[in-house]
Structure 1
Amino acid sequence: MGDLTADRLQVGIGASEHSDGREAGAAAARAACADLNGRRPDLVLVFASVRYDLAAVLAGINSVTGGAPLAGASSSGHLHAGTLTQPGEGLAVLALASTDYRFGVASVTEVGANSFHAGRELARAARTAAGTDRLPHEALLVLSDGLTGDQQELLNGIHRVTGVAVPVVGGAAGDDRRLARTYVMRDGEVFSDAAVAVWIGSPRPLTVVSGHGWQPTGLPLLVTGVDGPVVREISGRPALEVYREHFRFDNPMCEIPSDRDGGYHSAHAFGLIQPDGQLLIRGAFVDDEGQLRTFAPLPAYAAVQVVSCGPDDLLDVGDATLADALDGADASVALVFSCVARLDILAGRSAEEAQRLQKIAGEVPTFGFYTYGEFARTTSVVGYHNATIAAVIL
């Protein structure tokens, strides 16, 4: 896979659903490294189900790669070269080798205690790890604990180091929809309440793109009462009552079932209205106490719209997003980060996303995972999303 000439990015992908973590990691790594033309990888990415002993997975991978720099996350499903691996199954490994690129891997812990500080230190450490030989184009790949800390504050800290010149892309780790504990990985270590980043230096432009496909179902509303992630009032009225009033009743997924846990996202969400008029999607659900919650807090007195979507909306915007990323790019691999909310809404059509993305990419392999939130920050500080697809081309 990819262009195997010496001065280009060499790409290898492997996957395994072996029941033993070490064996699965080793098998996927062998398959990935087989495409590197005999080279040791300069970077390894791994996305894996939490059903595995993740430390054993890393031991298996490192036994093949010789301890090459590694970053990874637990997932809620992953995709590779047109194939979807459903939540609760398997792992996938991407191996990259190039004399043209520079990769610096770093990690921070205790993200929940001070997400801004953690983001700032993470970006600094990753930049340092990439070395002083700076290349004309750079980006930061971020993988974070999906259940701890303030993801936007993590990005705010990163922005203090990168500014607008270095785009950020990535995703928050999942745990097969269990919503119990998520993990990130660096080299041979597994962390929770942590984040991992890869500073990428490239001779070619690194364009980060994102899209969501959600459409407003009503006029703008004002958030008048919030308690962290709990939305209590909208326009001075009970939030859940207002939220339900904006459901599209022709949509068979319009109701929020009470028998599904918090990993379930309905086909409705909030669109946080940005200064340029664009919508930043915030997934919403009803908790066990009957409270309306979002996965990232809505600011008090923020302007929002209730938004909705269907499977075709999500598939079409995925196609358009990846096509936009590939436009004019000298591509070797497309890294994709898609929300598990999208997978839930696609339901019986979930495999179509991976297939269609690979069709758009042509001979360029696709690789990514299903997240608990996506990072796609380009020209502003804001860049944490829900129910969105993000991509970067290497």
Structure 2
Amino acid sequence: MQPDRWFAVGSAQGTGRGSGARALDDALQSGDPKLVLVFCSPSQNLPELLREIRSRSAGAPLIGCTTGGEIATAGPHDASVVVAVFGGPGFAIQTAVATHASQDLRRAGALVAQCVPDRPDLPHRVLLLLSDGLAGDQQELVRGAYGVLGAAVPLVGGCAGDDLKMATTFQLYGDRVLTDAVVAAGIASDAPLGIGVHHGWRRVGEPMLVTASAGNRVFTLDDRPAIDVYLDHLGLDEPTGSDQEWLARIALTHPLGLRRASGEDHVRFITGGDFSERSLSCAAEVSNGALVWIMEGDAKSVLEATDTACRGSLAALDGQAPLGMLAFDCIARRGVLGSAGIRTEIERIATIASGAPVAGFYTYGEIARVRGLHGFHNQTLVVLAVA
């Protein structure tokens, strides 16, 4: 008999022709697909990849993005494609896209938030967002979606990557390859959907005062150029010919932490800087007058955060077993864990999932809003568990 609801994952290594078809065939294990999710390396031939998948996916709506590395049940990979499929009448799913997102991220969030189905018979809902993390202050995207949906519908997702080049990320919608876009899927379900989130970073050194900033750009810290103060706190000299990729690799394991009124630190991913004006760019707003710290983590703290996020997502399923999990894992955590550590992390996620399939990617920022307005995170693991 056709199952009421199902979730399956397929993956294929390599960037040659046929990788999309192989991944989709592994994931399309039953009929009535409701949504196809694609997470893939930016080195893929993206138009060809979409043609392969769309030709075999029975017309199901598709969203996806490029990554900083792909996650599947069998483990993490680079230069691969991962496909996850939701299916069955237990789900109702609609998709939406907002282009030119950097012009008004709040408007983009409000636009795509309208795709969440209103189905009284499917009471569990979530808005899944995949965004261009290089397009500006991603908290504005969350504010826009929250303004439409309010507190009743949680938000989850992540920002596309480009293998840490910090130049151009791509978002996928149907048969379109986009950049500077937000793609979304509004999911309504007859069984619970659980979100878990945790980062595992801690403060080091003395705090710094943000003395000039605008949006997601920090111009001065302690009344000195932001890049200079940041590197001084790390005890680093700037080499000749330094560039965005050099700065991004340093920032990968040394993000900024901001104190919130709740006492919890929010982590800000440094996406780059302007070496002429000596400013830093972050993935979300850093307010004037804020106290910030350099943050650091180690394998132990990062893996403990993995366990906490996964168990938190399962706790929201009201005792039901998961059909599957989606993992949005910051590329900075990958930098801390290293090649062996990320394999250990995915093994731990799969173990906690009790054999349910896992899909996801390494992100440039993570979205998880369950309560309150703030829902954009950096250097964090966000997990969506599907019952």
Same fold (TM over 0.5): yes
Q: Tell me what 2:158 maps to.
A: 171
- Residue 85 (structure 2) pairs with residue 95 (structure 1): yes
**2:326 corresponds to:** 335
- Tell me the residue number matched to 2:313: 325
Q: How does 1:217-296 map to 2 (within 5 A)?
A: 217-218=204-205, 220-240=207-227, 242-243=229-230, 247=234, 260-264=245-249, 265-284=251-270, 287=273, 289=275, 291-296=279-284
Q: Does 1:16 pair with 2:12? A: yes
Counterpart of 2:370, as a letter, is: T
Match of 2:380 in 1: 388
In structure 2, relative to structure 1, the CA distance for the partners of 1:240 and 1:119 (3 Å cut) is: same
Looking at structure 1, the residues matched to 272 and 129 of structure 2 have their Cα atoms a distance apart, in angstroms, of 28
Q: Which amino acid aligns with 2:143?
A: N
Once the 2 structures are TM-superposed, how far is the Cα of residue 60 of structure 1 from its aligned partner? Answer: 0.4
Q: CA offsets per residue over residues 189-222 of structure 1, 9 Å max, x none?
A: 2211111111111222322221100112245543
CA distance in 1, matches of 2:44, 2:272: 30
Q: Is the 8 A contact 2:39 2:67 kept in 1?
A: yes
Pick the aligned partner of 2:98 from 108, 122, 126.
Answer: 108
Equivalent AA in structure 2 for residue 269 of structure 1: P
Alpha carbons 1:69, 1:187 under 8 Å: kept: yes
- CA 1:271 to 1:19, structure 2 compared with 1: closer, same or farther past 3 Å? closer
184 and 163 in structure 1: CA distance in 2 versus 1, 3 angstrom threshold: same
- Tell me the distance in 2 between the aligned counterparts of 1:255 and 1:217: 19
Aligned counterparts of 2:291 and 2:122: Cα–Cα separation in 1: 40
Contact 2:227 2:273 in 1 (8 A): no
* 1:82–1:357 CA contact under 8 A, matched in 2: no
The answer to whether the Cα contact below 8 Å between 1:311 and 1:345 also exists between their aligned partners in 2 is yes
| Cα offsets for 1:156-215 (capped at 9, x unmatched) | 110011111111000011112222211111222221111111111122232222110011
1:301 corresponds to which residue? 289
Q: Is the 8 A contact 2:217 2:280 kept in 1?
A: yes
Residue 237 of structure 1: how far off its partner (Å): 4.4
Residue identity over aligned pairs, in percent, reads: 34
Segment of structure 1 superposing worse, 227-236 or 275-284: 227-236
Superposed, which structure 2 residues align to 1:41-80 within 5 Å?
41-80=33-72
SS state of the match for residue 335, structure 2? helix
Rounded Cα–Cα distance in structure 2 between residues aligned with 1:286 and 1:52 = 25
Separation (CA, whole Å) in 1 of partners of 2:121 and 2:163: 38
Provide, for residues 8-42 of structure 1, a one-character-per-residue CA deviation record: whole Å limited to 9, x for no partner: x2122111124334x11111111111x22xx1311
**Equivalent residue for 2:179?**
192
- Give me the whole-angstrom Cα distance separating, in 1, the residues matched to 2:137 and 2:271: 18
How has the CA–CA distance of structure 1 residues 270 and 309 changed in structure 2, closer, same or farther, with 3 Å as cutoff? same
For 1:268, what is the secondary structure of its paired residue?
A: coil
Match of residue 30, structure 1, among 6, 25, 28: 25
2:133 to 124, 141, 146: 146
Deviation at 1:331, TM superposition (A): 1.1
What stretches of structure 1 of length at least 5 have no aligned partner?
Answer: none
Aligned-partner SS, 1:347: helix
- 1:359 maps to a residue whose letter is T
Query: Which amino acid is 2:259 matched to?
Result: I
2:211–2:289 CA contact under 8 A, matched in 1:
yes
Amino acid at match of 1:104: Q
Deviation at 1:134, TM superposition (A): 5.6
More deviation in 226-235 or 141-150? 226-235
- Whether the aligned pair in 1 keeps the contact of 2:136 and 2:216 (CA below 8 Å) is no
- Name which of structure 1's ranges 94-103 and 300-309 shifts more when overlaid on structure 2: 300-309
Distance 1:173 1:68 in 2: 22
Q: Distance in 2 between matches of 1:364 and 1:356?
A: 12
Once the 2 structures are TM-superposed, how far is the Cα of residue 324 of structure 1 from its aligned partner? 1.8
Q: How far 1:238 moved relative to its partner?
A: 4.6
Q: CA deviation at 1:73?
A: 0.8
Is the 8 Å Cα contact of residues 339 and 374 (structure 1) preserved in structure 2?
yes
Counterpart CA distance in 2 for 1:239 and 1:262 is: 13
CA distance in 2, matches of 1:50, 1:255: 32
Moved more, 130-139 or 204-213: 130-139
In structure 1, C-alpha distance between the alignment counterparts of 2:107 and 2:228, rounded to whole Å:
37
Flag the 1:20–1:313 CA change in 2: closer, same or farther, 3 A.
same
Q: Is the 8 A contact 1:80 1:92 kept in 2?
A: yes
Letter in 2 for 1:147: L
1:353 paired residue number: 345
The 1:163/1:120 distance shift into structure 2, 3 A limit, reads same
TM-score w.r.t. structure 2 length? 0.89
Work out whether residues 35 and 93 of structure 2, in 8 Å CA contact, stay in contact via their aligned partners in 1. Answer: yes
Q: Distance in 2 between matches of 1:284 and 1:114?
A: 21
Q: Is the 8 A contact 1:225 1:231 kept in 2?
A: yes
Give the TM-score, by structure 1 length. 0.88
Tell me, which stretches of 5 or more residues in structure 2 are unaligned? none
